[in-house]
Structure 1
Amino acid sequence: MSGTLVLVATPIGNLGDLSPRARHELEAADLVCCEDTRRTGRLLELSGLRARRLLRVDEHTERAAVAEVTGLLAAGRRVVLVSDAGTPTVSDPGRRLVDAALAAGHEVTAVPGPSAVLAALAVSGLAADRFVFEGFLPRRGRERAERLAAIAAESRTVVVYESPHRVGATLADLAAACGPERRAVVARELTKLHEQVERATLGELAERLGELRGEVVIVVEGAAPPPPADDEVVRAALRDELAAGASRRDAAASVATALGVRRRRAYELALDLDGADGPVTG
């Protein structure tokens, strides 16, 4: 007999967002794994629900919880996993439980629902057809600098979580990395009474917002595509390839790929070099 691990999304602020399916799973589960038993217990109390048993599963206890959870699943039980708010395992504990359950051949399913990532993206007004989620940025050092540089070069919309007291510093760092004119959105206390969504450039947001209260999501516009290479840039790249011994055809193919230009255009410019620089073979 095989049990089921159910990942249940819980409200990120508004209790009305707890779905009927989520309510059913929370009450029917043999065990509810949660980051904070007090916080989840309060959610259940306010929702008029009663769980059979709560088990703390956070970054400190998840590894130890794997044996107990997989043992219950092996006995055919139903185990629910929730985070403090939103969708489990998304910048929250739970991945080890999911991996262990799958490795043991148990079913893993989800009850979808609230997600701060998707809520912030949806209301941002920025492109949502392609995006990346960066979670929390490293706090300092080389790792943070590298992540900021990657965000600056990313062509897709970027969604970042940040703690309230570090929002100002992170906006300033993003403005420095991406440029102050890059559009961005800061969403605070989504779905709650005092929900706030600020839309402006990174430079303006960095000047306007300092330390905030509540949960914060930052959404950053993707980088604009680089301007197309002009003929002189293409010719210079062709000369380098030809000087390295490439044939005219191979040089055109290599430069077209590197600069994102049409191969025919690169080849025609390579032919033009015959007259300007002397004969070229290939």
Structure 2
Amino acid sequence: MPTIYVAGTDITGDYSNIPPHLKEIAAKCGLIIGEDRRNLGRFVAGADVRSAEQMFLNEHSLKREKEFLVEVSAEYENVLLISDAGTPCVADPGYDFINMAWNAGYQVVSIPGPSSITAALSVSGYFSESFYFMGFPPKENDQRKKFFDRVYNCRDTVVLLERPYVLHQLLDEVSFIDKKMSLSMNLGMPDEVTYRGTAAEILASVPEGVKAPFVLVISKKRFKED
């Protein structure tokens, strides 16, 4: 199965100074997906990866075209997804492609810029045209319960942060929320991992005793709306 790398680029669209790490990733990708031919061509030139196959994903892409991209990606060991500027899948047409990739069993890995929030959103595969960053839950029990009630009632995609050593507690506390979730740990590191599913499914997958920085993304859709 391929690995889909989701890379943030300069928000100005300047590809003349692509970070070395991103160049290294691009060099091993046989397929690079961007929004339009001109900007993707500039990225490919800046990263010096002209031999890579190029395909396009933008606001005009139909569902069947995104499904085709998922099928084509299976032919490559590594695939790179970028946007014209900034992070793909955040206020960007790529999020449902990433969701399809997850559902196809592909590995999805972030190449983050300075923000773990947008990195986690970009690999979640959930709607992110708008999202609500709720930050850290309060420590006090009564305030904490009210906080999670607000998360439950929120009609946007929600992003949460929490201290690494209370990860299992957090997943248990949000298990009543009938929405899919995405937990990304160690973003941008060699051992980056993302778990997707219900809170209970993720809790069962995360090893006991693990302590790593993480971001939790909660889909806006309840199960009955999927």
Q: What's the TM-score once normalised by structure 1's chain length?
A: 0.37
Between Structure 1 and Structure 2, which shows a larger proportion of helix residues? Answer: 1
Q: What's the TM-score once normalised by structure 2's chain length?
A: 0.46
Between Structure 1 and Structure 2, which shows a larger proportion of strand residues? Answer: 2
Structure with the bigger RCO (C-alpha within 8 Å, sep 6+) is 2
